[in-house]
């Protein structure tokens, strides 16, 4: 029971480079989310998806792209990384039906540093 995994766990990149953060869940949850965690801001929503091929912007979507061709994967791409995107990124998933449809399950996070 792998649950929800993120890769890489740590990443250092340079300004202007493209970076993709991976998120994979084994529960077949319909909902998936990307949040970023910054000191003084808590967690803020970047993008979310209610099902495969359905995505929607959150509070801080600029500079990020997502796709969801398969239910279990929800990659987040920084098209041209900037220093302000240095953060810890959390992926989460949740059910659309059945028990605990209001609970989100979080991955372990990816710590991204943009130099």
Residue ranges binding another protein (CB under 8 A): 4, 30-31, 33, 35, 40-45, 48, 58, 90, 92, 94-96, 101-109
Could you tell me the sign of the dihedral formed by the alpha carbons of 106, 53, 56, 75, in that order?
positive
d(CA 109, CA 103): 18
Query: Given its phi and psi angles, is residue 79 left (phi above 0), alpha (psi -120 to 50 degrees) or beta?
Result: alpha
* DSSP letter, residue 83: G
CB of 103 to another protein, least distance (A): 5
Supply the minimum distance, in Å, between the C-beta of residue 41 and another protein: 6
Question: Residue 8 or 16: which CB sits closer to another protein?
Answer: 8
Nearest to 5 by CA among 25, 33, 35, 29: 25
- Residue closer to another protein (CB basis): 109 or 112: 109
Residue 67 CB, shortest distance to another protein, in Å, is: 18
* Choice between 15 and 94, CB closer to another protein: 94
23 strand-pairing partners: 6
| Minimum distance, C-beta of residue 17 to another protein, in the bound complex (Å) | 25
Which of residues 60 and 114 has its CB atom nearest to another protein in the complex? 60
């Amino acid at each position: 029971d792998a649950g929800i995994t993120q890769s890489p766990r740590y990443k250092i990149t340079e300004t202007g480079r493209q970076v993709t953060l991976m998120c994979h869940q084994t529960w077949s949850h319909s909902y998936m989310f990307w949040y970023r965690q910054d000191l003084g801001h808590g967690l803020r929503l970047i993008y979310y998806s209610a099902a495969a091929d359905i995505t929607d912007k959150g509070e801080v979507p600029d500079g990020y792209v997502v796709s969801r061709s398969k239910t279990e994967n929800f990659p987040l791409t920084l098209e041209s990384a900037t220093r302000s995107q240095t953060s810890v990124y959390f992926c989460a998933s949740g059910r659309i039906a059945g028990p605990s449809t209001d609970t989100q399950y979080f991955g372990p996070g990816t710590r991204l540093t943009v130099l």
